[in-house]
């Protein structure tokens, strides 16, 4: 039986003995016990104790020397929370692997060190994976009351429960129970507004999404990515080809890179800007192409580099100060990004007014250029993010201190833009939902920021993390930022964008189907493949997605080649 700390204390379970606890549980489960009693574990095995689960992994699992011959297996080497029921499996697999290694290397005094080393090396990988999954599952149960019970409909609640460890994905569910999964896909697609049909059901990532007056044909976004190729902030042919190719590549929405509101707001001399009409005109040409030649919509991300400005383009040294022609930096406080980087000046109120007006002017130009959505960049340690994080905001005025004060200036900018941005077009805000550094913002803080932006009229929160503090320690891994999108979506009640290490359709389908986010932004995979969305559709056999009419003859061949490769792989596997 598992319960929250709050319920545990409220029922006085901390004050009663084992017999009292057993009686309490018998009462809770009386309906299923049907008059039977519960049996406690033997007292010499600590009995049936309430415990806060200790997740342990030993630093060393084996010793083999004159004095000691030890191999740890199972719970003695590592524990995994019961939420995914895998402790026994892990213990048995340890034993099987140890036996395998003895078979491979032989069981002599000389071979034993190699056997033990290989055993430990191999098993650690699997154990880490299972411990991760068990932690996800444990956390799901910990937040189910506040996050899912009242927000998700029963169908989606079930999907969320089944995929709680994030080890079981959408396609994995299909293998386990095809009929059930197709039923769920049908339910999801009808909720998303698609008509019921007997054809192959549309997988969640390919369902449409509407917010204010914006209709997206699917849930995939080309995440904002700086390409450092502008001159004087003006997007050129490179941007047209880069964004145009990705618009033709199937994503429902593509974002520009962080587009800067003044020359001093740029990260590098190669960044795009929207502080003059020439830039506005150049962007309009791109927007018109996207609208005229693709089914994609296009959004602008507006930002100000703050203390991370005046640096070199990525391939000449990311975050490194320019060797010459630097410009002065402003930030919430005088905290440089790199120890040897340029120190910014804390913003004065007059500068805050000026930058706010620059954001408003850029937003007006963006609206005139025809962008469908505007994202305000409040992440990654840039100017607005520097106000949000306590690591970079040491102000003692009303813009520093608690969460509301730190959010005051970013919210002021947001509201000023919202006032001029067309009513029927949505706005999103990108947050660093975790600073991954001691004393920095945590996902709980991000939740509060998301609430405040929602009150200010934000339609979407784009949930990124990090890059605020140079000495941060992100825990990378598949879908590593998705838990932030999940938390904010389901605890604040606002649509979210998941981003970060989402690299295949199966990931995106799992995230969207489970209601962990409404949209998925994909960055680096789109650098490798502009048509990522079309190609992923083909990989999962989703033939009904349309290709640009100019490219249609490439589609059946591409699909047939994939099918052939799959058939060969399957026959090879046999
Ligand atoms: C409430 C609960 C629910 C669980 N649910 C699941 C589940 O659904 N699915 C699942 O796969 N796993 C589950 N587990 C985990 C699973 O029970 C353990 O991971 C698994 O039993 C570990 O096996 P083991 O052999 O490593 O350790 P153990 O099963 O703990 O075996 C260790 C043995 O060593 C003995 N011992 C200890 N000290 C000494 C000594 N000095 N000399 C001699 N003997 C000693 C102990 O008496 C014990 O018999 C659950 C665990 C708990 C507590
Ligand atoms: C080359 C490059 C440039 C980027 N530029 C921006 C940017 O301008 N604005 C932004 O918010 N994020 C930017 N990012 C971050 C991405 O939008 C995304 O959040 C991150 O790469 C994680 O997604 P991925 O794992 O799919 O790559 C950039 C990432 C890359 C790789």
What are 260's strand-pairing partners?
273, 303
Measured CA to CA, the distance from residue 369 to residue 245 in angstroms comes to: 19
Q: Is residue 555 within 6 Å of ligand 1 at its C-beta?
A: no
Residue 78 CA: which ligand is closest? 1
For residue 543, give both structure tokens: 């033939």
Q: Considering only CA atoms, which of 463, 376, 375 is closest in space to residue 412? A: 376
Residue 271 CA: which ligand is closest? 2
Confidence (pLDDT) at 574: 57
402: Cβ–Cβ under 8 A, 6 or more apart, which residues? Answer: none
Dihedral (CA of 304, 226, 393, 337) sign: negative
Written as tens digits, the pLDDT of the chain (574 aa) is: 888 888 999 999 999 988 899 999 999 999 999 999 998 887 766 678 888 888 889 999 999 998 999 999 999 999 998 888 899 999 999 999 999 999 999 999 999 999 999 999 999 999 998 998 998 899 998 899 889 999 999 999 999 999 999 889 999 999 999 999 999 999 999 999 998 877 778 999 999 999 999 999 999 999 999 999 999 999 999 999 999 999 999 999 999 999 999 999 999 999 999 999 999 999 999 999 999 999 999 999 999 999 999 999 999 999 999 999 999 999 999 999 999 999 999 999 999 999 999 999 999 999 999 999 999 999 999 999 999 999 999 999 999 999 999 999 999 999 999 999 999 999 999 999 999 999 999 999 999 999 999 999 999 999 999 999 999 999 888 899 999 999 999 999 999 999 999 999 999 999 999 999 999 999 999 999 999 999 999 999 999 999 999 999 999 999 999 999 999 998 876 5
Measured CA to CA, the distance from residue 216 to residue 341 in angstroms comes to: 41
Smallest CA separation from ligand 2 atom 3, residue = 225
Q: Is residue 524 within 6 Å of ligand 2 at its C-beta?
A: yes
Confidence (pLDDT) at 571: 87
Which candidate in 148, 382, 399, 409 is catalytic? 382
- What digits encode the pLDDT tens for the residues 180-205? 999 999 999 999 999 887 777 899 99
**How far away, in angstroms, is 133 Cα from ligand 1 center?**
19
DSSP-derived 3-state class of residue 132: helix
111: Cβ–Cβ under 8 A, 6 or more apart, which residues? Answer: 105
Confidence (pLDDT) at 49: 83
Smallest CA separation from ligand 1 atom 26, residue = 74
Q: Is residue 86 within 6 Å of ligand 1 at its C-beta?
A: yes
**How far away, in angstroms, is 443 Cα from ligand 2 center?**
20
Measured CA to CA, the distance from residue 243 to residue 240 in angstroms comes to: 5
* CB burial of residue 479 (10 Å; 0-12, 13-18, 19+): buried
Measured CA to CA, the distance from residue 199 to residue 501 in angstroms comes to: 31
Q: Is residue 92 within 6 Å of ligand 1 at its C-beta?
A: no
Q: Is residue 500 within 6 Å of ligand 2 at its C-beta?
A: yes
Q: Is residue 467 within 6 Å of ligand 2 at its C-beta?
A: no
Upper half-sphere CA count for residue 101 (Cβ side, 13 Å): 20
Smallest CA separation from ligand 1 atom 19, residue = 87
Q: Is residue 308 within 6 Å of ligand 2 at its C-beta?
A: no
- 228 belongs to the catalytic site: no
Q: Is residue 2 within 6 Å of ligand 1 at its C-beta?
A: no
CA 413 to chain centre: 25
Q: Name the average pLDDT for the chain.
A: 95
For residue 572, give both structure tokens: 């090879």
Confidence (pLDDT) at 2: 82
Residue 523 CA: which ligand is closest? 2
Q: Considering only CA atoms, which of 528, 546, 529 is closest in space to residue 537? A: 546
Atom of ligand 1 nearest to the CA of 73: 26
Smallest CA separation from ligand 1 atom 46, residue = 45
Task: Please state the φ and ψ torsions of residue 335, each to the nearest 5 degrees.
Answer: -125, 115
111 CB neighbour count, 10 Å cutoff:
14
**How far away, in angstroms, is 75 Cα from ligand 1 center?**
6
Q: Is residue 162 within 6 Å of ligand 1 at its C-beta?
A: no
Confidence (pLDDT) at 200: 78
**How far away, in angstroms, is 525 Cα from ligand 1 center?**
43
Measured CA to CA, the distance from residue 146 to residue 214 in angstroms comes to: 30
Residue 229 CA: which ligand is closest? 2
Smallest CA separation from ligand 1 atom 34, residue = 76
As a three-state string, the secondary structure of 193-232 is CCCCCCCCCCCHHHCCEEECCEEECCCEEECCCCCCCCEC
Measured CA to CA, the distance from residue 360 to residue 352 in angstroms comes to: 12
Beta strand ranges found along 280-420 (DSSP E)? 297-303, 330-331, 345-346, 373-378
Q: Give, in order, the Cα–Cα distances in Å from 430 to each of 269, 303, 374, 410, 459.
A: 23, 10, 11, 11, 11
What are 373's strand-pairing partners?
299
């Amino acid at each position: 039986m598992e319960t929250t700390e709050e319920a545990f204390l409220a029922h006085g379970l901390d004050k009663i003995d084992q017999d009292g606890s057993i009686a309490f549980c018998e009462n809770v489960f009386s309906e299923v016990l049907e008059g039977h009693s519960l049996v406690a574990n033997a007292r010499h095995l600590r009995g049936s104790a309430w415990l806060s689960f200790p997740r342990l992994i030993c630093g060393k699992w084996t010793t083999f020397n004159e004095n000691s011959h030890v191999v740890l297996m199972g719970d003695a080497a590592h524990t995994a929370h019961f939420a995914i029921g895998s402790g026994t499996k892990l213990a048995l697999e340890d034993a099987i692997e140890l036996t395998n290694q003895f078979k491979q290397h032989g069981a002599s005094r000389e071979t034993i060190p190699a056997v033990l080393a290989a055993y430990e090396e191999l098993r650690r990988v699997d154990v880490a994976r299972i411990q991760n999954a068990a932690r996800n599952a444990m956390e799901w149960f910990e937040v189910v009351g506040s996050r899912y019970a009242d927000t998700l409909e029963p169908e989606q609640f079930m999907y969320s429960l089944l995929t709680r460890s994030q080890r079981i994905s959408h396609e994995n569910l299909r293998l386990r129970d095809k009929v059930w999964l197709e039923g769920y896909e049908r339910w999801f697609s009808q909720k998303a507004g698609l008509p019921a049909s007997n054809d192959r059901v549309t997988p969640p990532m390919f369902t449409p999404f509407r917010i204010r007056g914006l209709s997206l044909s699917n849930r995939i976004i080309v995440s904002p990515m700086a390409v450092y190729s502008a001159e004087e902030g003006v997007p050129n042919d490179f941007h047209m080809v880069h964004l145009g190719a990705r618009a033709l590549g199937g994503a429902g929405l593509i974002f520009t890179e962080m587009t800067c509101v003044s020359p001093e707001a740029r990260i590098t001399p190669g960044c795009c800007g929207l502080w003059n009409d020439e830039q506005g005109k150049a962007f309009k040409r791109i927007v018109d192409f996207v609208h005229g030649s693709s089914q994609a919509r296009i959004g602008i991300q507006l930002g100000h580099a703050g203390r991370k400005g005046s640096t070199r383009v990525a391939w000449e040294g990311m975050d490194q100060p320019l060797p010459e022609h630097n410009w002065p930096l402003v930030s919430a406080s005088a905290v440089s990004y790199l120890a040897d980087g340029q120190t910014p000046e804390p913003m004065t109120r007059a500068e805050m007014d000026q930058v706010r007006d620059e954001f408003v002017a850029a937003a007006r130009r963006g609206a005139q250029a025809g962008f469908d959505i505007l994202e305000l960049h409040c992440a990654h340690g840039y100017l607005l993010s520097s106000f949000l994080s306590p690591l970079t905001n040491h102000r003692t005025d009303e813009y520093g201190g608690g969460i509301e004060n730190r959010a005051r200036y970013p919210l002021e900018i947001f509201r000023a833009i919202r006032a001029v941005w067309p009513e029927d077009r949505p706005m999103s805000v990108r947050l660093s939902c975790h600073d991954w550094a001691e004393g920095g913002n945590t996902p709980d803080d991000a939740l509060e920021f998301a609430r405040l932006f929602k009150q200010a009229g934000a339609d979407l929160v784009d949930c990124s993390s990090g890059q605020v503090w140079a000495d941060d320690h992100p825990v990378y891994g598949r879908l590593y930022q998705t838990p932030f999108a999940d938390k904010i979506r389901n605890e604040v009640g606002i649509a979210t964008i998941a981003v970060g290490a989402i690299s295949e359709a199966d990931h995106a389908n799992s995230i969207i189907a489970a209601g962990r986010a409404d949209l998925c932004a994909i960055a680096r995979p789109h650098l490798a493949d502009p048509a990522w969305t079309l190609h992923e559709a083909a990989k999962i056999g989703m033939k009904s997605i349309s290709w640009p009419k100019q490219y249609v003859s490439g589609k059946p061949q591409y699909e047939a080649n994939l099918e052939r490769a799959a058939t060969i792989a399957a026959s090879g596997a046999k």
